[in-house]
Structure 1
Amino acid sequence: MAPILIISRPAPKGASFVAQLTAMLDRQPGVIMAPAFDIVPTGAPVPENGAVIFTSANAVGFAPHGMGRTAWCVGQATAHEAQAQGYRTQVAEGDAAALIALILSQRPTGPLWHLAGAHRRGDVGETLREAGLTCETVVLYRQVPLPPPDRLLHAAAGNVPLIAPVFSPRSADILALPDRIAPLFVVAMSDAVAAAVSVHRPDRVVVAAAPDTPHMLGATRALWSEIAATGNA
């Protein structure tokens, strides 16, 4: 029995993930689009001096054009978005701790502006200030939680296995399905995401080998193919 994919990423990233994953599978998967959030811009102005910090590709989409400005980026996916927006990037290894370490190793002069969402794990700006750098946070967007769509509630009450790639701890809330009967399998982007989804009693959690889209695609493909072939975990 082929499992159904539950996609909690907002558009267009959710649709892009499905398209890339479908190209990796041997058949068209069933998909339920269930975005965990609506991403709403705040309209906050971004100061023009100094360098910027991006810990999310979402923030890049709400930032002004870079015009060659330096952007410190958490990972390759975020850096790719920033480069397309005209930023000159410095790239860390995929998480906030690595990004902070990279910035502190080079100790840039001038102000730093962390362009981010209202909800974020940790405080990059505070950590950098404690280390003696000048850094402030500019909130460019808010994530407004959305309820599970009716299609997801209906699928959860059935017996077809569900596979949910989950990219952030807060996105795990879309899996709060109190009447779920269907087996639920989760591909988590990190250990923190795995911990967040555990409260929703998944049948199995697989953590991606690295916190990026290519590894999430690979882990989701492997799990989908396994369950499609065996019907279970």
Structure 2
Amino acid sequence: MVAQSRPILLLTRPEPAASRFAGLVRAKLGDRLAIVISPLMAPVFLPAALPEDDWQGTIFTSETGVEGLRRLTARRGPALCVGPRTAEAATAAGWQGEVLGGDAARLVAALSVAPRQGAWLHARARDAAADLVSPLRAAGMQIAEAIVYAQEPCSLSEQARSVLDGRIPVIVPLFSPRSARLFVAEAQKALAPVNVVAISKVAADAAEPLRPARVEIAPTPDAPGMLAGLLRLLAAGATA
């Protein structure tokens, strides 16, 4: 049960990322917030067709992409990753993980300035938020893509619906524009005051139909940035 004397943090990102973020919040705030986890997406791994020719290196923009490609091939080699968590997952799976950029946009920017030689493969989700292949090809890279997983929508749990039907303020971190759209579809009849921490302005705009009580955009598009945004939201009075 959710403690009724505390504001509620509703985490809707897929596992294990949701539990990992919950751990960051507890380490920073203790039990100040009651945490409810109800993922709005779950990964489904796909039997992607891989290039017939060998590729020199791989680009990963998520840990799930690492797992998806690991299931399909024993090929390994250099891997360019959007952040340390993805690089750690790639290295653990046998690739030589290298962090390049904190998000997909910065990875593309870095490779546009200094394209890597040889053939590369981007292992991605079916509903990827950004197109990496087109700008990288325009920058001169030889790159293909493989859709190795999909994030299938899930409904909110009964516990999540219960807190949204209550009167206690609810804080919802939204880690992508798609998760924002899914949350809007699920929470249109929410009675509780809803406060949003968005990973980007695009994600914040996608949540606008809910008319959130407060919106805070993360200073950086990653988990530490989302935690910083949460702290700003609390400082602004989101628990009132």
For Structure 1 versus Structure 2, the TM-score category normalised by the shorter chain is 0.7 to 0.9
Seen in structure 2, the aligned counterparts of structure 1 residues 105 and 200 have a Cα distance that, compared at 3 Å, is same
State the 1:103 CA deviation.
1.9
1:34–1:220 CA distance, 2 compared to 1 (3 A):
same
**1:93-172 alignment runs, 5 A limit:** 93-172=101-180
2:205 is the alignment partner of 1:195: yes
Is the 1:66–1:87 Cα contact (8 Å) retained in structure 2?
Answer: no
| Alignment RMSD | 2.3
Gaps of 5+ in 1: none
Give CA-to-partner distance per residue, 1:14-54, whole Å, 9 cap, x none.
11111221121142632222211111000325555311111
Paired residues, number: 230
Instruction: Look up the equivalent residue of 1:49 and give its one-letter code.
Output: W
Which residue does 2:183 correspond to in 1?
A: 174
Is the aligned partner of 1:215 residue 2:239?
no
- Structure 1 residue aligned with 2:215: 205
- Amino acid across the alignment from 1:215: G
Provide the C-alpha distance between the structure 1 equivalents of 2:208 and 2:15, rounded to a whole number of angstroms: 25
Matching residue of 1:58: 64
Q: Distance in 1 between matches of 2:92 and 2:224?
A: 19
- How big is the shift at 1:171? 0.7
For 2:77, the equivalent position in structure 1 comes to 69
* TM-score of the pair, normalised by structure 2: 0.86
1:102 Cα deviation (Å)? 1.8
The percentage of counterpart residues that share the same residue type is: 32
SS at match of 1:63: helix
Alignment partners' CA distance in 1, 2:212 and 2:6: 18
Structure 2 unaligned segments of length 5 or more: list them: none
SS of match in other structure, 1:126:
helix
Asked if 1:8 corresponds to 2:12, the answer is yes
**Residue 22 (structure 1) aligns with:** 26
1-side partners of 2:91 and 2:113: how far apart?
Answer: 22
Separation of aligned partners in 1, 2:62 and 2:209: 25
- CA distance, structure 1, for counterparts of residue 115 and residue 69 of structure 2: 23
